[in-house]
Structure 1
Amino acid sequence: MSKNKNFPTVPLNEVPAHIEDSKAEGHRPVVLVVDDESVIADTLAEILTRSGYAGVAEYDADSALETALLMPPEMLITDVVLPGMTGIELAITVRRIFPDCKIILFSGQASTADLLASARADGHHFTLLNKPLHPQDLLARVSEGLKPRKRVAVEAR
């Protein structure tokens, strides 16, 4: 479904890998990418896969939920504007099922600010990126979002 937008292209061979080799050989974090424009979802999933993640593309919220139940994601990257359920509703549902799942929303439409403000008012806080997404920016956000949090050691006395 083309919306006649001119996005700059970056050849896949120019997309840098931002994930350490040790992660690439072992566990590959599942990152679910949802966009009703299949070329965007497929491209982002491919970039993530080539960078050491398990990128999985879906094109609507219902299919994304089915996939998430079969293959729990560590991160959800979703367009805000989807047919049927919005990306924000999808993010809230995924977060209820998988509380540790990291969420990144993206959109090419200014009207999504109202949807995001409404979600924030209900206590949901998500990162919003604007389309077009540059692969390096996306990989930096994914890498930062999936970094293990440092645990604070508590001494027993």
Structure 2
Amino acid sequence: MTDNKSKYIFVVDDEKIIAQTVAAILRQVGFRTAAFENAQEAIDAASVEAPDLMITDVVMPGLSGIELAILFQSRWPQCKTLLFSGQAITADLLEDARKSGHQFDVLSKPIHPSDLLAKLNELA
């Protein structure tokens, strides 16, 4: 993702401050971002303009981040997904997704901004 200005990133986390903070960090380095507190908000927004990348928490009320990522893969296949989580249950959820043929990169919370940016550059 060398050309940050052309990349649109969704940040989805049920903890509002996390979603807003990650989105703000990404804006500071030139990405266009949108922060959402739940999966449905992200789905609705993607129907208007799909992102190039979605960063989503795994464990959220309603749709999990993994369920959201799978939905995005089917509706917006050009959108890459990066999961992040601070919860132990994530490993079980990821294993279930892998058994269904879905593979996702996962970062642990809390994540240092430089580590997040390095991962985004890997996904380019």
Q: Following TM superposition, by how much is the alpha carbon of 1:28 offset from its aligned partner in structure 2, in angstroms?
A: 2.4
Alignment length (residue pairs): 124
- Residue of structure 1 equivalent to 2:117: 139
Q: Following TM superposition, by how much is the alpha carbon of 1:40 offset from its aligned partner in structure 2, in angstroms?
A: 0.3
Determine which of 97, 104, 113 is the counterpart of 2:91.
Answer: 113
Determine which of 67, 73, 76 is the counterpart of 2:51.
Answer: 73
Give unmatched runs, 5+ long, in structure 2. none
Alignment of 1:32-111 (within 5 A): 32-111=10-89
Q: TM-score, normalised by structure 2?
A: 0.95
Q: Following TM superposition, by how much is the alpha carbon of 1:64 offset from its aligned partner in structure 2, in angstroms?
A: 0.8
Q: Distance in 2 between matches of 1:49 and 1:83?
A: 26
Computing the radius of gyration from Cα coordinates, the structure with the larger value is: 1
The amino acid across from 1:49 in the alignment is: R
Q: CA RMSD in A?
A: 1.2
Give unmatched runs, 5+ long, in structure 1. 1-18, 148-157
Q: Deviations over 1:102-132 (max 9, x none)?
A: 1100100011100000000000000011100
The amino acid across from 1:44 in the alignment is: V
SS of residue paired to 2:110 = coil
Alignment of 1:120-135 (within 5 A): 120-135=98-113
Q: Deviations over 1:56-80 (max 9, x none)?
A: 1000001110111112111010000
Q: Deviations over 1:82-102 (max 9, x none)?
A: 110110000000110111211
The share of aligned pairs that are identical, in percent, is 48
Higher strand share: 2
Q: Distance in 2 between matches of 1:93 and 1:116?
A: 15
Q: Distance in 1 between matches of 2:114 and 2:46?
A: 25
SS of residue paired to 2:14 = coil
